Structure 1
């Protein structure tokens, strides 16, 4: 019996490590049109007018505490950027930004990944009221024609562009930003001029910096976060100072224990994405904590540096994606030193980016109880780039349920009937005022009452007790119809499949738009699947041989047969699957920047595999569900 099929696990009754959380009492308004409005009874406390007030505070109170830490070039030790150094650097760089005449019409654009220099420039821009635009490095390093980078440059008209390595980013700096002032911290680019970051750090201060800081207010644009643009041109989400400050306070009240002790984070998430760059970095800054730059990635192949970091640094809160948590699991099982350090101070595991399969949840419960005799609370919420990014969260033990929870303090959530679903909409200080220079899409994203229409669907945890909050019910645009006209709930079906195939599947992508039945592309966990190969040379098998082995195919066939017995008709049953030996990656766009799988990109790039799944005569590698009668006891275990 799979972990994902357990109706109850005794570990769920083990108390979790005590921690202080925010309120969970909400008011609920039912409306005649079928919509429901939620608001938390706990009020939002006051918050700063500008985010770098917190930098000034901690630089005064705890000047020598590290704000950031990163591995040295040789990987032998951690080097630190203290709060005092961060404030001094931000003020010097802010002086240089003002001298260059940067403004909302000529913002700062940052091309390179996380780092001390990136952080100092971002803090400098926030401190003096210059908007900054963090951009995924993929637009500069992986693109041949720079189409999306050129679009961003045309929309934002930057007055300064920063890249840590001028040689690495040289082609993009020449072809896209030829006339724009350029700043680098490493090698100079060939074929164009550039200033050195170290020189800018030595900029003499004038009264202009303090004057600019005093003029920064709640409506000042802090930064512009561009969405991925997978369904059209990227949208520039405006982050005002009000958004940045209010949501940091909202998160601090929801995770109230963060007000009791400075948060320690070990984080790999990219800063051009709002999870890492707004939520996680902002959490450390707001609470006077320390953010360790995890040099790893959330895949089995690239998680080694993460494991090394977590052997040394004990996080107070650990934020990751389901992919990242899954990749960490085997190391926690096998390495007692890692496990003891990881759980030694850990108060909360918070996941985002996708739903967490139950087998991962159960495994972390088991490891925590084994290590410290208690569970560590695991929970999530629901949000998005346009909402701060955390307008909803659980603040209680969800007992392995994937829930959106309740609004954070100061946010109103409205759920509105849209077709067969209920759309979740937001209003509050943490919601964006709109999209950068895009009035049309801004107007289309808000309803008549001013609520932002998220495109996420919600369902009531208990229809008889609405005050308990909401479950996530998939994306409105992600769901599709079969040829019969029946809607398919992709998120629910994907999670059911992951739980069924666990722990031998890393991810599942559902196909079937305008088709007669559902199929899926399954990405096996190759390391876990070696144990199913049934021979003594399993460790030597390559990916294709692992996927084609009899033991692996038998496991997935058996679980596919069980999935086919689910109730609900053709929209709830997967009829065929293909096991993919080539894993999705960040580089090919099938994984998002936060490690979540992109359903649309996988289906587009592997359209030949989808076509194969619908051949009239199944191909040899296609696994086809074999329907059969299932005893009541077994049927009760079906996801």
Structure 2
């Protein structure tokens, strides 16, 4: 198939500096454009220039509860004055316990409008009883003055914990006499000097404290300033020209406690006068149908998702011509994150785009961290392959330290990089090198070592690599991505094993919905699935992958786990990331079985 790609992009233009020790510095040749002073400046601007345009919306009955820019500003100012009337400021953070919603957005923007930090937490910390320990950890670190939960009844178990002495609880629904209704905040406080407080907010004011995932250590609080957020949006708009051509629109489920959904996507709409329709579905069994229902009502100019979400969406679009037409007709960009998009899914979207509009929108990804607000690298020009994360955004410097042939440890510096963790001076000091570069712990490879403008591709976490007993290094992160593609859609996720072993193995968390659809038996023995037909299918796929593979990429054994990763036990973070160390230690019995043969639960090549 001949593919015509969008011509609305800014070509890569990168300067490379090579040091004598092999270190490489990369910077963008594009200058950084004008940067807003605060997030409130965006809101003021669009409420003035596009007052009736929808900023944020959530499902309400058969339709949407929509807030225009002018309505948003009016309510934000009311809430902000109420917060000031309580004496709140930079040292009285607000914890938001519930997920994405209009009232969540209004409260967060109101706090930022007058310099009060907000701390959005994963709603699972409150709604899953076994995860209340994570909630307690966050409270002990943050010591909030106020908390918000959308529904007091829904969050009653968490709200009954011994955490709320001296903390004002605000809720939108079912408030008790001891709580504050959200409407009371919106009513405001006429005595507060709103304009004076707003004027004092500047680039160095903390806008939010974002908790890291906790996949490798206890979660840390990232002090995220207005400068970080505002610079990052200018960096994105400078490299994605269509953002300034017309107001963007997204239908998005990605959680706001995470930097991707809450800083990248949320602010992408606010900074560019766009509209954010909150998708109350997600790519999971039983709720993805809600996503399709929402997309039948509203479609976006951009689509953000994780690979499994795009896999599900591809199937839905292939079976619904009307939805396919509406989905692609105004689409500027398809953006995946979290892992590489399987190439067959990539090509499926290309084919449909060509069918509907005769060209393919920008299909892309980027790379960054909670500490970088988040975008540091962006694939801003079209490519024909998945897995490329691009080149540095304007005014950011990437420092690449040789780790192996064509493999580099990544460090970063720029105005979108954090200055410190909250109340953690030791962790802050350890996070930066002697030149002030943030130590990310990630690794990259050049797509083409002779041409830096071809970009970089992610090559895993340095800490996840391990050696086999033979001395062979295994790059676990990249192999995991390859294995997820190899076993799709049978595997929901997996862990690469083999440290101090002779062979590489897999501990597979199955996609039970896909297994049921394929007719496989989900019966278990001792915590593992033993269906011989399933084992044969996995063995066949692993065997095909092993042809021509080296010992560093050849998987020799696997076990399919019967129970999913547990967030309460720390095996999975609220963002859906696996904590590999927790899994390997917490399921040591399964790891032992994996390397003991014969065992009917173990698949061997």
In which range does the TM-score fall when normalised by the shorter chain?
over 0.9
**Which of 554, 558, 571 is matched with 1:573 structurally?**
554
Q: CA distance change for structure 1 residues 504 and 172 in 2, over 3 Å: closer, same or farther?
A: closer
Q: Indicate the larger mover: 307-316 or 547-556.
A: 547-556
Q: Please report the RMSD computed on the Cα atoms of aligned residues, expressed in angstroms.
A: 2.4
Gaps spanning 5+ residues in structure 1: where?
A: 1-10, 626-639
- Measure how far apart 1:193 and its partner are: 1.7
* Residue 454 of structure 2 corresponds to residue 468 of structure 1: yes
Instruction: Indicate if the aligned counterparts of 2:314 and 2:348 stay in contact, CA closer than 8 A.
Output: yes
Instruction: Indicate if the aligned counterparts of 1:64 and 1:82 stay in contact, CA closer than 8 A.
Output: yes
- Measure how far apart 1:440 and its partner are: 0.7
Q: CA distance change for structure 1 residues 604 and 333 in 2, over 3 Å: closer, same or farther?
A: farther
Q: CA distance change for structure 1 residues 121 and 380 in 2, over 3 Å: closer, same or farther?
A: same
- SS of alignment partner, residue 173 of structure 2: coil
* Residue 108 of structure 2 corresponds to residue 122 of structure 1: yes
Provide the C-alpha distance between the structure 1 equivalents of 2:68 and 2:296, rounded to a whole number of angstroms. 22
Residue in structure 2 matched with residue 346 of structure 1 by the alignment: 331
- Measure how far apart 1:557 and its partner are: 1.6
Report the count of equivalent residues: 601
* Residue 254 of structure 2 corresponds to residue 269 of structure 1: yes
**Which of 75, 90, 95 is matched with 1:89 structurally?**
75
Provide the C-alpha distance between the structure 2 equivalents of 1:581 and 1:313, rounded to a whole number of angstroms. 38
Alignment of 1:490-529 (within 5 A): 490-526=476-512, 528-529=514-515
Alignment of 1:588-627 (within 5 A): 592-615=573-596, 617-625=597-605
Deviation track 1:117-155 (CA, whole Å, cap 9, x = no partner) reads 110110001110111111112222224473332232222
Deviation track 1:198-225 (CA, whole Å, cap 9, x = no partner) reads 1111114456111111111111111100
Provide the C-alpha distance between the structure 2 equivalents of 1:437 and 1:98, rounded to a whole number of angstroms. 24
Instruction: Indicate if the aligned counterparts of 1:63 and 1:84 stay in contact, CA closer than 8 A.
Output: yes
Residue in structure 2 matched with residue 247 of structure 1 by the alignment: 232
- SS of alignment partner, residue 124 of structure 1: helix
- Measure how far apart 1:495 and its partner are: 2.5
**Which of 6, 31, 38 is matched with 1:43 structurally?**
31
Provide the C-alpha distance between the structure 2 equivalents of 1:340 and 1:607, rounded to a whole number of angstroms. 50
- SS of alignment partner, residue 167 of structure 1: coil
Provide the C-alpha distance between the structure 2 equivalents of 1:344 and 1:575, rounded to a whole number of angstroms. 46
Q: CA distance change for structure 1 residues 474 and 595 in 2, over 3 Å: closer, same or farther?
A: same
Q: CA distance change for structure 1 residues 140 and 527 in 2, over 3 Å: closer, same or farther?
A: closer
Provide the C-alpha distance between the structure 2 equivalents of 1:575 and 1:261, rounded to a whole number of angstroms. 52
Q: Give the structure-2-normalised TM-score.
A: 0.93
Residue in structure 1 matched with residue 223 of structure 2 by the alignment: 238
- Measure how far apart 1:173 and its partner are: 3.0
Provide the C-alpha distance between the structure 1 equivalents of 2:65 and 2:332, rounded to a whole number of angstroms. 25
Residue in structure 2 matched with residue 220 of structure 1 by the alignment: 205
Residue in structure 2 matched with residue 55 of structure 1 by the alignment: 43
- SS of alignment partner, residue 147 of structure 1: helix
Provide the C-alpha distance between the structure 1 equivalents of 2:192 and 2:82, rounded to a whole number of angstroms. 13
- Measure how far apart 1:526 and its partner are: 4.8
Q: Give the structure-1-normalised TM-score.
A: 0.89
Provide the C-alpha distance between the structure 1 equivalents of 2:442 and 2:518, rounded to a whole number of angstroms. 38
Deviation track 1:368-403 (CA, whole Å, cap 9, x = no partner) reads 334434333311011010011001111112211412
Alignment of 1:420-569 (within 5 A): 421-526=407-512, 528-529=514-515, 533=519, 551-569=533-551
Provide the C-alpha distance between the structure 2 equivalents of 1:15 and 1:335, rounded to a whole number of angstroms. 23
Provide the C-alpha distance between the structure 2 equivalents of 1:613 and 1:451, rounded to a whole number of angstroms. 41
Instruction: Indicate if the aligned counterparts of 2:11 and 2:381 stay in contact, CA closer than 8 A.
Output: no
Residue in structure 2 matched with residue 4 of structure 1 by the alignment: none
Residue in structure 2 matched with residue 287 of structure 1 by the alignment: 272
Residue in structure 2 matched with residue 637 of structure 1 by the alignment: none
Residue in structure 2 matched with residue 98 of structure 1 by the alignment: 84
- Measure how far apart 1:337 and its partner are: 2.4
**Which of 331, 334, 340 is matched with 2:316 structurally?**
331
- SS of alignment partner, residue 146 of structure 1: helix
Provide the C-alpha distance between the structure 1 equivalents of 2:29 and 2:9, rounded to a whole number of angstroms. 14
Q: CA distance change for structure 1 residues 268 and 457 in 2, over 3 Å: closer, same or farther?
A: same
Q: CA distance change for structure 1 residues 516 and 542 in 2, over 3 Å: closer, same or farther?
A: closer
Deviation track 1:10-53 (CA, whole Å, cap 9, x = no partner) reads x4x4112x352234111110011111001111100011111111
Residue in structure 1 matched with residue 4 of structure 2 by the alignment: 15
- SS of alignment partner, residue 34 of structure 2: coil
Gaps spanning 5+ residues in structure 2: where?
A: none
Instruction: Indicate if the aligned counterparts of 1:243 and 1:429 stay in contact, CA closer than 8 A.
Output: yes
